[in-house]
Chain A
Amino acid sequence: MREAMDPWTFVVASYAIGVGATAAMIAWSLLSMKRAEKRRDEARKR
């Protein structure tokens, strides 16, 4: 006998993981870019 499953649990979990991972990747790529470009500009000024 198959247990009854709420499909929304799986849908919401998928969206939370997918959107969360994408948002984290965007934030990480932008922050690391800003940090690297700041470091390059400081190296140029020295």
Chain B
Amino acid sequence: MHGFANPARFLRIARWLMPLCMVAGVALAMGALGWGLFEAPAERLQGETVRIVYLHVPSAWLGMAGWMGIAAASFSELVWRHPLAGIAARACAVPGALFTAVCLVTGSLWGRPAWGTWWVWDGRLTSMLVLLFLYFGWMALSQASEASDGGHNKTPAIFGLVGAVNIPIIHYSVTWWNSLHQPPSITMGKSAMSADFLVPLLLAMLGFTLIFAGVVLARMRAILADQQAEARLRRKALSEAEF
């Protein structure tokens, strides 16, 4: 893991891994969504609206995984001072926030026909909305830190670690409090879903996870290239000022 913290080694790996993740992810996600839309059966109680699950569950998973990525990178930045950790955290923020927003919107679109309402202030929906606000707060803090002292401020990393408290709250909210939201259908090693729904759902989760990984790698390359360009221009300006 420490070996990958070298920017030159990271770039060598990211150059072939990023397009691979993107192409495989798009192919898998499109195939799974097509399967879910046209091949998978309608559900006995929820009817056709159950097809929203193939977008809603992967986006919920990636919204939470994005913050776990920020927390892991923040830990790595604070403890080991990895040069790429802060960049990895910044790269996770936008895709994580986007998938959280997609989860909230598709959940609302599912809730209207299934529950008769667009929104309820229960534990699951509220903690997921809090996650979206945490992303916005983290992005604002990270930008402010970048602008003020070139990203050497540790406040975003501490915020990233503290915000991870919300992840178990999201996961266990349907167990701890009464909710219109159903309890988890997939847990470690077992599933309450039939294979007709489970197989396209797992494929969609894998596909969107690969897309997420591809986007994070592309963002890391972009942030790293921006920093390298800035450093080179600054060095050049300094050497010109000396003569």
Partners in one complex: yes
Chain A contact residues, CB within 8 Å of chain B? 2, 5, 7-8, 10-11, 13-15, 17-19, 21-22, 25-26, 29-30, 32-33, 35-37, 39-40, 42-44, 46
Interface string of B91-112 (1 = CB under 8 A from A): 0001100100110011001101
Interface SS of A by simple majority: helix
Chain B residues proximal to chain A, CB less than 8 Å: 22, 26, 29, 33, 37, 47-49, 51-52, 55-56, 59, 94-95, 98, 101-102, 105-106, 109-110, 112-113, 116, 208, 211, 214-215, 218-219, 221-223, 225-226, 228-229, 232-233, 236
**Contact status B33-A15, CB under 8 Å:** yes
Residues B52 and A11 in contact, CB atoms below 8 Å apart = yes
Q: 17 extra interchain contacts, Cβ-Cβ under 8 A, other than A7-B113, A10-B110?
A: A10-B52, A14-B109, A15-B33, A17-B109, A18-B59, A19-B33, A22-B98, A22-B208, A25-B215, A26-B26, A26-B214, A32-B219, A33-B225, A36-B222, A36-B225, A39-B225, A40-B225
Knowing A5-B113, A26-B26, A36-B225, the reply to whether A11 touches B48 (Cβ < 8 A) is yes
The answer to whether B52 and A33 touch across the interface, beta carbons within 8 angstroms, is no
CA distance A36 to B94 in the complex (A): 17
What's the A-B contact tally at a CB cutoff of 8 Å?
Answer: 100
Contact between B49 and A15, CB atoms less than 8 A apart = no
Is A14 a contact partner of B218 (Cβ separation < 8 A)?
Answer: no
Q: Are B106 and A8 in contact (CB under 8 A)?
A: no
A-B contacts, 24 listed (Cβ < 8 Å): A7-B49, A10-B112, A13-B109, A14-B109, A15-B55, A17-B105, A17-B106, A18-B102, A22-B98, A22-B102, A22-B211, A25-B215, A26-B22, A26-B215, A29-B222, A30-B22, A30-B218, A33-B221, A36-B229, A37-B222, A40-B229, A43-B232, A44-B232, A46-B232
